[in-house]
Amino acid sequence: ELNDLQDDLGTLASAQYRSGGIDPSLQLFLSADPDSYLDKASTLDQLSTKQAEGLQQIAEKKRTLNQQKAEAASKLDELDETRTELGKKKKEVQAKLGEAQKLLNSLTAAQRASLEAAENRANRSNERVDLGNDLPASSLAAAALSAAKTKLGSPYVYGATGPSSFDCSGLTSWAYAQAGAGIPRTSQSQANAGTRLSMSQLMPGDLVIFYGDLHHVGLYAGNGQVLHAPRTGTVVRYESINNMPFQFGVRI
């Protein structure tokens, strides 16, 4: 658009240059047909006005373009930072996976069977959980928790945000979205999305943040229970809040 405007203005300027740029009063004095000259002068005046408008448009376009360039440069810097951060996170995850695999390989067959049985019992225990009579923190929290309950039994898939599978923060962000509230995507960002709470202040629907690096989040369901998507190989389920290192709650 900027190039088109500049081309149009350049064409007009070239035409004026070819006319010789003689002083208007002298052109009128030399003209054999003053009426015709005055008509042309009126047209030239209109063209000058158009030129001025064109120059103003070009200036505005340039300002807009410069602003967009600056914004694009800023976005590229942010993307570079994000890419670097994701690279670090990937290495951390790979290291943790390596440690977990070593631990898993060290288990005896009996220990593996016991662990698998415990996971299966946890995945099947959703129907028998006593959530008590705690009141939700707000109608928003109640709606989010209610939405999350409809996903009990859905499989955990890393990076999934629903509607058929979830990771931990995918479940909480999906639940609040169903309630009409947008919250950040990751557990670390969700940790800063509202008012922080101690364990005694938790009410149903509040977010619950776990682990020192804040990498896990769930929804407080009441009576010491958390509704969450635990990890690969599990499903969305209830679990005691004491089974994981509690950090703090967050009220949206």
From CA 228, how far away is CA 239, in angstroms rounded? 8
What contacts 100, CB < 8 A, 6 or more positions away? none
216 is catalytic: yes
168 is an active site residue: yes
Other C-beta atoms within 10 Å of 147: how many? 18
The answer to whether residue 215 is catalytic is no
**Counting beta carbons within 10 angstroms of the beta carbon of residue 248, is it exposed (0 to 12), middle (13 to 18) or buried (19 or more)?**
middle
Q: State the Cα–Cα distance between residues 179 and 143, nearest whole angstrom.
A: 5
**3-state class of 193 per DSSP?**
coil
- Could you tell me the two tokens for 54? 């064109």
Q: Which of 141, 168, 179, 197 is catalytic?
A: 168
Catalytic residue (choose from 216, 220, 225, 230): 216
Q: Which of these is catalytic: 144, 169, 227, 228?
A: 228
Query: Which residues are part of the catalytic machinery?
Result: 168, 216, 228
